[in-house]
Structure 1
Amino acid sequence: MTALAALLPLLVTAAPTARGAALVDVSALVPDAVVDLRYATAANFLGRAVYPPDARCLVRADVAARLARAAERLRTRDLRLRLYDCYRPLAVQREMWRLVPRRGWVADPRHGSNHNRAAAVDVGLSTADGREAELPTAFDAFEPRARADAAAGIPSVARVNRDLLRAAMEAEGFRVNRAEWWHFDAPEARGAPILDVPLAPAALAGSPPPRP
């Protein structure tokens, strides 16, 4: 069975605004991933929540299959994926731009972000017991050390973890954002439509129940 075929029972039927697209709850496919959606909290550069508290990590089915394979690579190093951000509705992109209209920090909603296409993820690492692994900076730290190739001022353990994450993601076709070690774009972003499907589970038919 192919990875994409294994995804079929997990597909979340999107609202009509998705133009027939289907999104997948990554935690259903990668059950050991630590879901840490920062935009459902105030622990982000905006300083406030812009997602509902019950938001889920949703992506395109083919992107989810890539993430599952990357997670498998990381397990061989006793590491787990930590999911900071996944699909982002266009309405939220507009709100982020209203709050911080600064290119390089927020994508202009007139053109959209690959997060709006459900084809980009912000990820980190956790140890086998779920603790956040050491990485060069905190998520959303827009500073020189956040660059994907930064070296100065970064402890060796953090650099090794960053490079392991990048290697696992790039081996499955993702491309890192040079300015943000945590941001990875999938090749499926090219030509994918911008979506505005709500993140609340009630709006997503067929969603599995929340994990305890």
Structure 2
Amino acid sequence: MKFNLLVLFVFSVAVNAQNKPVPIKKLVIVNSYNQYQASVKSNPNNELVEIKKAIPTIKLDIRYATRNNFMQQVMYKQARAFARKPVVDALKKIQKELSKKGYGLKIYDGYRPYAITVEFYKKASDKNFVANPAKGSKHNRGCAVDLTLIHLKTGKELLMPTPYDSFSGAAAAKYEKVSPEAKQNRDFLIAIMAKYQMNVLENEWWHYDFTAWKSYDLMDIPFEKL
């Protein structure tokens, strides 16, 4: 009997331990401009550089500053794109290499304030295509860019498997059932981005993450303050 009671006690403790909620680590989000400036002073790589100013030949199509996006509403007050300094340095090298072939980059999105990620998650019909605010997005760290390829002379986009922000299976980086031209363009973009430490997101051919993203804090500073 004593043995049975002991087993029951141990089992109860184990069950209670399993049912006990695991503490959620609080996210560290920089929302003070002074704090951001201090971080840049301590490490210049923390700077959120305006992409167009650093690389004038890059084209912008900031969809979230318009209604032409999956949210169907204006999310950004300004049509600007930022990224951490090493990311912009990588984009500069990529743009230079592409220009030799007559191509260039078009940027849809870069750094995204954390508050916008929260709004996306609330309203997105497919949560697989938006970041969970519980973890934050690499966009929030200034370490992700959404982009495509264009012909430099005409500004026309190269054919890709889907439009930007498509919530379809064909948007995946390795989706095979696409035209040979679209596949060639997509794979070329993925390869040249990877060459400069920008890796494609598995389910979005247009989304690229900087390999060292873990070194940067989540940010919630609006474009107007940058």
1: distance between equivalents of 2:104 and 2:215?
Answer: 30
Identity of aligned residues (%): 33
1: distance between equivalents of 2:198 and 2:109?
Answer: 15
Name the TM-score, length of structure 2 as normaliser: 0.78
Q: Using the TM superposition, give the Cα deviation of residue 170 of structure 1 relative to its aligned residue in structure 2, in angstroms.
A: 0.4
> Is residue 2:100 matched to residue 1:82?
no
Q: Is the 8 A contact 2:201 2:207 kept in 1?
A: yes
2: distance between equivalents of 1:40 and 1:120?
Answer: 17
Q: Where do 5+ consecutive residues of structure 1 fail to align?
A: 1-13, 205-212
Q: Is the 8 A contact 1:74 1:165 kept in 2?
A: no
**More helix per residue: 1 or 2?**
2
Higher RCO structure, 1 or 2 (CA under 8 Å, sep 6+): 1
> Is residue 2:52 matched to residue 1:27?
yes
1:161-201, Cα deviation, whole Å (9 max, x unpaired): 1112111100001111111100110022113100011112x
Output the amino acid matched with 1:23. Answer: L
> Is residue 2:41 matched to residue 1:16?
no
Structure 1 runs (4+) greater than 4 angstroms displaced:
none
Paired residue for 1:146?
Answer: 171
Q: Using the TM superposition, give the Cα deviation of residue 155 of structure 1 relative to its aligned residue in structure 2, in angstroms.
A: 2.0
Paired residue for 1:39?
Answer: 64
| Structure showing greater Rg | 2
SS in 2 for 1:59: strand
2: distance between equivalents of 1:110 and 1:146?
Answer: 24
- How large is the RMSD of aligned CA atoms in angstroms? 1.6
Output the amino acid matched with 1:72. Answer: K
> Is residue 2:180 matched to residue 1:175?
no
Q: Is the 8 A contact 1:117 1:195 kept in 2?
A: yes
2: distance between equivalents of 1:89 and 1:167?
Answer: 28
Q: Is the 8 A contact 1:62 1:188 kept in 2?
A: no
1: distance between equivalents of 2:127 and 2:35?
Answer: 26
Q: Where do 5+ consecutive residues of structure 2 fail to align?
A: 1-31, 40-45
Q: Is the 8 A contact 1:63 1:188 kept in 2?
A: no
**1:198–1:15 CA distance, 2 compared to 1 (3 A):** same
2: distance between equivalents of 1:195 and 1:32?
Answer: 27
Paired residue for 1:124?
Answer: 148
Give the length in aligned residue pairs: 187
